[in-house]
Copies of this chain bind each other. A is one copy, B any other.
Amino acid sequence: MSSRCSTRRRSRCMASVGFCPAGWNGARKTPNRNLLITSSFDGDQLTCVTHVTASDDPLQDGERGGPERVPELVRAGNVRCMRSFAEATTVVGTRDGVYSSTLDDEWSIGKNPHGGYMMALLTRAALTAAERPHPLAVSAHFLRSPDAGEVELRTEPVKRGRLFTTVHARLVQGGKVCIDATVTAGELTDAPHEWEATQQPPIKPLHECDDHRLPTEGGLLGNIDVRLDPHSTAFLRGETSEGEVRGWMELTDGTDFNPLSLIVAVDLLPPTILGLGHTGWCPTVELTYQLRALPAPGPVAGYTRCDALHPDGWFNEDAFVYDSRGRLVAQSRQLALSGNALEGR
Closest Cβ of chain B to A301, distance in Å, is: 15
Asked if residues B139 and A139 are in contact (CB atoms below 8 Å), the reply is yes
Closest Cβ of chain B to A185, distance in Å, is: 11
Asked if residues B333 and A333 are in contact (CB atoms below 8 Å), the reply is yes
Chain B, residue nearest A200 (CB): B307
Chain B, residue nearest A165 (CB): B143
Identical chains in the assembly:
2
In the complex, A231→B166 CA distance in Å?
37
Q: Which of B144, B159, B168, B292 contacts A310 (CB 8 A)?
A: B292
Report B-chain residues with C-beta under 8 Å of the C-beta of A308.
Answer: 193, 195-197, 292-293, 328
Interface string of A246-279 (1 = CB under 8 A from B): 0000000000000000000000000001001000
Asked if residues A276 and B182 are in contact (CB atoms below 8 Å), the reply is no
Interface residue A151 (Cβ < 8 Å from any Cβ of B):
no
Report B-chain residues with C-beta under 8 Å of the C-beta of A77.
Answer: none
Asked if residues B333 and A195 are in contact (CB atoms below 8 Å), the reply is no
Max chain B Cβ within 10 angstroms of own Cβ: one of A141, A191, A309, A345: A141
Asked if residues A193 and B311 are in contact (CB atoms below 8 Å), the reply is yes
Chain B, residue nearest A160 (CB): B143
Asked if residues A309 and B136 are in contact (CB atoms below 8 Å), the reply is no
Closest Cβ of chain B to A340, distance in Å, is: 10
Q: How big is the A interface, by class?
A: 35 or more
Q: Which of B168, B189, B311 contacts A180 (CB 8 A)?
A: B168
Closest Cβ of chain B to A51, distance in Å, is: 38
Asked if residues A276 and B195 are in contact (CB atoms below 8 Å), the reply is yes
Q: Which of B184, B195, B314, B331 contacts A136 (CB 8 A)?
A: B314
Interface residue A164 (Cβ < 8 Å from any Cβ of B):
yes
Asked if residues B196 and A286 are in contact (CB atoms below 8 Å), the reply is no
Q: Which of A142-194 contact B (CB under 8 A)?
A: 143-144, 158-159, 161, 163-164, 166, 168, 177, 180, 182, 184, 188-189, 191-194
Max chain B Cβ within 10 angstroms of own Cβ: one of A137, A188, A292, A311: A137
Chain B, residue nearest A345 (CB): B163
Asked if residues A194 and B337 are in contact (CB atoms below 8 Å), the reply is no
A-B contact pairs, 25 of them (CB 8 A): A136-B314, A139-B286, A139-B288, A141-B166, A143-B159, A143-B161, A143-B166, A166-B180, A168-B168, A168-B180, A184-B286, A184-B335, A193-B308, A193-B311, A195-B306, A196-B309, A197-B242, A197-B305, A286-B288, A290-B335, A292-B308, A292-B316, A293-B310, A308-B328, A331-B333
